[in-house]
Structure 1
Amino acid sequence: MKGARGRGTLAQEKPPILGMIQRGGQVLIRMLVNVQQQTIEPLIQAMIRPGTQVYSDEYGIYGRLCEWGYEHRTVCHSRGEYARDEDGDGFHEVHVNTIEGFWSLLRSWLRPHRGLSQEKLPLYLGFFQFVHNARIRGKGLLQPLLSVLLA
């Protein structure tokens, strides 16, 4: 079965989640109240240094990134575009595959936790963000986790 088209909302019990990831670096994920520019602007400005190159899909919510002080390049999924080589060097630098891969990992990790409440979802997201950013798996994760919890 295919899910309903469109963006999720809190009322539909499919809350919107914003994700920002640095290629080869840290990720930040937050559950949002709504999908509006006024909601994402403070998060983006708190986490991304002005002048940074930001890649996104063509969704209109990202339309003011240049006004907010960021370099912005997009791929147009609706036209079947998923990566683009703008400088002709053979490397497709304009893409959102890094965050798309992260979403795939998050969905796979959440799938066994069927029936998650919206109230608890931010805790699950925070834990997954921590694990991803720590880049440690298995028993090695215990010490960094305890350090964060006891700090």
Structure 2
Amino acid sequence: MSVLSAKYMHDEAAAFEHVEAMIWGDEPICPHCGTVGNAGKLEGVRTKPSKKNPEGKERHGLWKCRECRKQFTVRKGTIFEESHIPLHLWLQAIHLMVSSKKGISSHQLHRVLGITYKSAWFLTHRIRECMRDGALAPMGGNGGAVEVDETFIGQNPDKPKKKGARGYAHKNAMLTLVDRDTKRAKSIVVDDIRKHTLVPILRENIAKEAVVYTDEAKQYGKLSDDFADHDFTTHSKGEYVKREKPQVHTNTVEGFYSIFKRGMKGVYQHCGKQHLHRYAAEFDFRYNNRIANGIDDSQRAGLVLESTYGRRLTYSDSSTVRA
């Protein structure tokens, strides 16, 4: 049976029960006072009558805390808070985003879910916010290998295209690290690819005992001073794997970029610099939680749901850059 045929994907009451189980577990948690397991479920409560709904709409998943006497639902404090989109449509959107290897556009979601494009755009950014993971341990622990590379995407509004400048000078820069042992990636949007910009990021995100592999770019010239070892391949000479040391290459991170760029160019097509960090987080999330790491689509969707609390993103915030 298709995952999208599951009851919680179509029934609002079942959707609330599913999200409650993922976020709360066995007992409700009051978002107002933090009390656990001391709330009663309110059945049959409806909203005020309106022209569109003369009898009012049923309020699914409504609870009342016995401690602070306040009402709440599982939406409170999550990315679903104050959203007029039914919860079961949120669950469909989450599944479609986590199961699409190269992403799914807001235009596609607005057609599939039957919501406005503006709502679909905002919905996808809220979901991407849940995919961000800033708590990764330093890569390359226990002497593991870490591949490092940078790429360029889109157009940086602060760097207009100039005649005679390098082909990437006007584009947004992104640095990506891939840990070969854990098969995880971390992408960081950077202002430039100069040594004084990149090296501090590498020091912060890579363990000192790690072995680092890069290409021959000058900004990586003295990484052996900061890590256990550093080696590189000379792409300008057509060398992508060292013959005498076949473990020296950046093909893994290049493979990550192939997926990232196919998605950004083929699906999303355009992305402003202020949003690039969320798109990068989306591709990192799917890469880090892929089948090769033992995580299927449903488990991936569950990881997003578990991260929805405390990640609320307002519409005005969605246009600002967050570190």
TM tier, smaller: 0.7 to 0.9
Larger Rg: 2
Question: Which residue in 2 is equivalent to 1:146?
Answer: 305
Matched, 1:50 2:50: no
> What TM-score results when the alignment is normalised by the length of structure 2?
0.41
> What TM-score results when the alignment is normalised by the length of structure 1?
0.84
Unaligned runs of 5+ in 2: 1-150, 161-169, 311-323
Question: Which residue in 1 is equivalent to 2:189?
Answer: 31
Following the alignment from structure 2 to structure 1, what is the Cα–Cα distance between the partners of residues 227 and 214? 15
Cα shift at 1:137: 4.8
- Superposed CA deviations along residues 7-60 of structure 1, whole A, max 9, x for unmatched, are 858315521110110115210101101111111122111111113111110011
Matched, 1:132 2:291: no
Question: Which residue in 1 is equivalent to 2:229?
Answer: 71
Cα shift at 1:131: 1.6
Kindly tell me the number of residue pairs found equivalent between the two proteins: 141
Work out whether residues 51 and 69 of structure 1, in 8 Å CA contact, stay in contact via their aligned partners in 2. Answer: yes
Work out whether residues 85 and 93 of structure 1, in 8 Å CA contact, stay in contact via their aligned partners in 2. Answer: no
Following the alignment from structure 1 to structure 2, what is the Cα–Cα distance between the partners of residues 137 and 109? 20
Unaligned runs of 5+ in 1: 1-6
Work out whether residues 131 and 137 of structure 1, in 8 Å CA contact, stay in contact via their aligned partners in 2. Answer: no
Identity of aligned residues (%): 26
Question: Which residue in 1 is equivalent to 2:96?
Answer: none
Q: CA RMSD, aligned part only?
A: 2.0
Work out whether residues 86 and 93 of structure 1, in 8 Å CA contact, stay in contact via their aligned partners in 2. Answer: no
